[in-house]
Amino acid sequence: MLTGVTKEQALVTLGSLLEQHLVQVLPATGHYLLHPIVASYASRHFALNGAADDETARKTAHAQDAQYYLQVATANNATAGGVKGISDAQPLIEAVWQLCQAEQFQEAYELMQQEDLFGKLKLWGANAALLELCQLLLSGNWAYTPQQKAFLSGYVGSISNVLGRKQEALRYHEQALRIRREIGDRRQEGVVLNNLGNVYVDLGQKQEALKFYDQALRIKKEVGDRRGEAITLFNIGTACFDLGRNDAALACFLQAKHIFEQVQSPSEGAVGQWIASLRKRVGEEQFEALRAQVEREGPEQIVEQALREMVNEQG
């Protein structure tokens, strides 16, 4: 990253800094930790006197840092599917952060997409890091498309919900929903409506959640999103279970289980556990009576009727 300095000169300077304890060695990684005074000086160095050329130099340095971390990721086989965990992904995370500081937001977004960092960081539970990167991308001054803004808003909404920031989650999901409707993206509109329902469930407002699940279910059926349909049916089922609507809960669970089997989704197991919980709640005899009722009246009709009653009651 240094320009105009030979490796020998850099090593001499490093040795001097080590002797004065301004830089510390981290034996476990072979990296160096800056003394806070040195770190503070370095962070201010590119903005001295607020000169425009200093700002350009700062962005250039961040861009060079990003390339360095990409080289580290490549050397560690942490790109193109080589990432196995959060520790492997650290150079990529740092590269995205540096690109954002360099205001190369499109490149940062494309890198996250290319390396599937959105999905992987969420899967690994690295929510704080993912939230920071998404917020950096959202706050940046770049020509993102409506789809990109909606995508990022949806991710911030979901992560905020996981982190307990419910009102923030609602605000970002509502922003994503507004954009999806403006551009006519019905499939993703259904996804966002489902996510809004999840937030209201976490807030304890299950009947309000059902209003959003109802809209999501209709859209997912309309666009043929079978797995999404099963997910929303499962969510409706858990809400109905908590509200004591056992017939509607079982109707949802049976439909969701059937669809998950068709699309070969592992989520089928979770549905089976809820069916078992319902069986335990009502007892074997009552459960069989419920199953017979659902088969006789039709699970779709039971769910539609229950939603109509509960959504109207909420309204």
Q: In which band, very low, low, confident or very high, does the pLDDT at 52 lie, cut at 50, 70 and 90?
A: low
Q: Please state whether beta strands 31-34 and 23-26 pair in parallel, antiparallel, or not at all (unpaired).
A: antiparallel
Final residue belonging to a domain, choices 118, 138, 158: 138
pLDDT in tens, 216-252: 999 999 999 999 999 999 999 999 999 999 999 999 9
Domain membership flag for residue 180: no
Domain membership flag for residue 1: no
More confident residue, 156 or 27: 156
pLDDT of residue 41: 78
Structure tokens at 258: 């059937």
Domain membership flag for residue 177: no
Q: In which band, very low, low, confident or very high, does the pLDDT at 156 lie, cut at 50, 70 and 90?
A: very high
Q: In the predicted model, what is the mean pLDDT of residues 14-38?
A: 83
Final residue belonging to a domain, choices 97, 120, 138: 138
Domain membership flag for residue 258: yes
pLDDT of residue 3: 62
Final residue belonging to a domain, choices 138, 171, 206: 138
Phi, psi of 32 (to 5 degrees): -120, 145
Helix (H/G/I), strand (E/B), else coil: 203: coil
- Boundaries of domain holding 71: 51-138
Domain membership flag for residue 164: no
Domain membership flag for residue 212: no
Q: In the predicted model, what is the mean pLDDT of residues 170-192?
A: 98
* Total count of domains within the chain: 2
Domain membership flag for residue 125: yes
Q: In which band, very low, low, confident or very high, does the pLDDT at 8 lie, cut at 50, 70 and 90?
A: confident
* Cα separations in angstroms, 84 against 88, 114, 231: 6, 15, 27
Q: In the predicted model, what is the mean pLDDT of residues 277-292?
A: 96
pLDDT in tens, 101-116: 999 999 999 999 999 9
Alpha carbon of residue 174 to chain centroid:
16
* pLDDT exceeds cutoff 90 at 152: yes
The candidate with the shortest Cα–Cα distance to 248, out of 208, 210, 203, is: 210
Q: In the predicted model, what is the mean pLDDT of residues 64-78?
A: 89
